[in-house]
Every structure is written in structure tokens, then in C-alpha cells.
Amino acid sequence: MFLETKRIYLRNLEEKDIDMLYELHNNQETMKYMHYNTISYEKAKHDVEDYASVSELQPGFGIWATVLKNSDEVIGWTCLKKLPDSDDVEIGYRYFPKYWNKGYCTEICNELIRYGFEVCDLEEIIAIIRPDNLASIRVAEKLEMKYVKMASHFGMDLKQFSLTKDRYYANKITDVYGCALFDYYNGDYDKMNSRWLSSSKHYFTTYEEWFPREQKAIQYATGRVLDIGCAAGRHSLYLQSNGLDVTGIDNSQKSIEICKSRGLRSAEVLSLHDIPNDYGTFDTIMMLGNNFGLVGTMSKAFDALKLFDEITSNNGVLILGASSLNMDKLSSSFREQIKSNRENGRYIGEVTYHLTYNGMSSDLDWLCVQKEDIIKLIDKSNFYVDTIIEDDMFGKPYPYVIIARKKC
């Protein structure tokens, strides 16, 4: 065994994998975006030997059989290796279609990325993807990789995505918001400037202090509730006090510590993008406090809606707080990002916040989505827009909450 996660392990390819590789590399769905789409059985034999030798020729790297722990089924292969005639290290995978859309790819690739940076001390990991392979592009985005350029490989023009070591560690180690909330919760106000003090205070407000849109929107919660991006737990604790079964999740360890300390019975460190599709069944998915922005990009937003469909009951309700771009109040940094988005064919509201607090820093990808665009997105999913709640005090466009219900 080379690496393992909760559900998967990687091992070296062996002679017994020849039949699997022959079937995989002749599967038209799997090979749709490759530079070839069929191989002979002799070629499969050669490829197993060739792939197995990568670890010898490139110590630390390889192309590994990807195996489910609970059944020992081989779902395909996953790789971390140098590109031909290059020092660039790519992450890649090829799986049978019946194993798609189950989170396996993201799960094992996240572990390979950890291995690449923390064990191999790589400076950068890339992925090369055909522009029309939208599913793989979404995977790259889930892995926090950024599109950098078009590149020519294997006789094709491919999109190149990148994750650098600096960005990996910034995202992994620094819990900027959590540390600020933790200091506020413990009364260490002297560590905080006025901006962080005001921002952190907001996460501890009571129902009476919330914005009217939040007071109205939370009344739509029913049954078992999943609060995504629960922060200090203000929404979760309110619903729990009103008798609802609430689970709060956040990718911030400090935030979850605060939630538990304040009495939230079910709270877990878990990112939106790492929620497995067998996480449980909820009647309400709640993302108040503009938390729909946590999806980061429009493609991830659609992936999130597909996930919500899988983990909600037949009468599932979505409470999605979001914000539009107010073009009159944008900083010069945001204007530059919007300009870059337009030039590179990305959605204009895909922005990155650079957060700093007491010597720590991290980047937070955020989606500011225009109201008409989120309505179109939801209409394409298995939900429909039931109600839109806005605050008149802000003017328009600005924050709003979408109440969406599952289609019958």
C-alpha cells in the first residue's frame, strides 16, 4: 500500500491488473477526452509494466492502482508524476464511470497533493485538462488549483491548472477567521484592530440583532438541519434552542471549538467541498451570512447543488445567503480581478479575498453571484426558487437570501 484515505488506498500496479487496464482504456466514456481511446491487450500488458516502472525511474512518484477499502475493487488509477521531457509534476487519474460522482477522486487527490508538498517538498503541482472536460476542471477547482494558461501536451491544446507550495500551506495552516473569532470569544480584544473587532462581534449576535433577511429566512428551516460555514454557531444555536436537530460544519478548527464550547451538540471540522454524498439526509441546508459565496466558483456552485440534492430529503429546503457585486463600491483590487475574469472567460463574481490577522494570512476564494444568475443556476438543478428575501436598508443589488425547494 502506498497511500490511503478513509475509503481508498493506492498500491503499485501488478500483472493481475492487466485485464482492468485493458477494460479501462477501452471504455469510451473514460477515454472521451484522452489523446487515444482504444488499446490492444498487448498494449495493456506493456502499460502495466511501464506504469509500474514510474516509481523506479521517478522515486517518490508513480501511477498507482486505486482501490476501494471496503471491497478491494480497483476503480482505475491515479498518478503523481513528471510530464514527459519536463520537470513539471502533474496529478492525474482515470476511473471507470460507475465510480464517478462519489467523491473518490477529490478524496485521494487531496491526499496525493498533501504527500507531494509535505513529503516530496514540491514547489508546484499541475493538472492538464481539455477545455471541454468540464468535470475534470471542477475537480481541479475543488483541489484549490488555479487556471494559469493554455499549454500543448500529447498533441492537444490543454488548460493547465496549478497549485503552488506557498498557496497550499497558506490554505492549510492558517485559520485566519477562526483565530480572530477565538480571540474575540476569549476577550482578547487587545489583539484585534477595529475592523476585526467589528467583524468578529457580528458572529456572536443574537436573533434580535440579526439583519431582517436572516430573521425571516431562518424561519424556513425545518427538521434536520445542516449549517454550512457555521462559524461561531449563531444560527445553529438559535435553531437548536428551538428544538431542531442541527449539525454545524466549518473548515475552521477554532470555529468548531467555539461552537462546542457554546453548547452546539453536533459540530464537525469539514469543508463544503469535502462533504461526502453519503454524509446523511437533511431536511434543510442552511448557508446564511452570505455563505453561498463559500462555493468559490460557478462550476463549484452547480456541484454543490447536485450534492444538496443527494443529501436532502424529498421535501428538502435550501436557505442560501448570497451577495451581488455592487459595482459602485468595489475596491481597485476587486476591479482588477473582475477585469481578469472577463479577459479569461471566468464568471465576473469569482473573487479572492486576501485575509491577514496578527501576522497570519490566507486567501479565500469567494463567489459573488448576481441574483438573476443564481436563479438560472437553481432552475437547472433539482430545486426551484420559492422565495427571495432582501433588506431594503442596503439598497440593491447587495445581500439577499434564496429559499429553494426540491422539485417533486
What pLDDT sits at residue 363? 82
- Cα four-point dihedral sign 282, 307, 279, 257: negative
Torsion, Cα of 259, 263, 269, 271 (10° steps): -60
Q: Residue 174: which pLDDT band, with cuts at 50, 70 and 90?
A: low
Say yes or no to pLDDT of 13 above 80: yes
Nearest to 275 by CA among 231, 318, 312: 312
The Cβ of residue 214 has, within 10 Å, a number of other Cβ atoms equal to: 23
Q: Residue 169: which pLDDT band, with cuts at 50, 70 and 90?
A: confident
> What's the mean pLDDT in 161-188?
85
> What's the mean pLDDT in 73-100?
93
pLDDT (tens digit, 9 = 90+) per residue, 391-408?
865 555 578 999 999 997
Torsion, Cα of 360, 365, 370, 371 (10° steps): -90
**pLDDT, mean over the chain:** 91
> What's the mean pLDDT in 204-223?
96
What pLDDT sits at residue 247? 98
pLDDT (tens digit, 9 = 90+) per residue, 16-53?
999 999 999 999 999 999 878 788 999 999 999 988 88
Alpha-carbon distance 391 to 215, whole Å? Answer: 11
Question: Which of the 8 DSSP states describes residue 277?
Answer: T
Domains 3-165 and 174-406 share a fold: no
Say yes or no to pLDDT of 365 above 80: yes
Q: Residue 361: which pLDDT band, with cuts at 50, 70 and 90?
A: confident
**pTM confidence score:** 0.66
Architecture of domain 174-406 in CATH? 3-Layer(aba) Sandwich (3.40)
What pLDDT sits at residue 214? 96
Question: Which of the 8 DSSP states describes residue 157?
Answer: E
Dmax over CA atoms of the chain, in Å, equals 71
3-165: CATH superfamily: Gcn5-related N-acetyltransferase (GNAT) (3.40.630.30)
The Cβ of residue 359 has, within 10 Å, a number of other Cβ atoms equal to: 6
Coil, strand or helix: which one is 97?
Answer: helix
Nearest to 357 by CA among 250, 245, 197: 197
What pLDDT sits at residue 393? 59
Alpha-carbon distance 175 to 356, whole Å? Answer: 10
Alpha-carbon distance 135 to 55, whole Å? Answer: 28
Nearest to 373 by CA among 357, 349, 407: 349
Nearest to 73 by CA among 11, 147, 130, 163: 11
Place of cell 484592530: 193
CA atoms within 13 A on the CB side of 159: 18
Say yes or no to pLDDT of 231 above 60: yes
What pLDDT sits at residue 109? 94
Q: In the structure grid, which three cell numbers stand for residue 359, read together?
A: 501576522
Domain limits, the chain:
3-165, 174-406
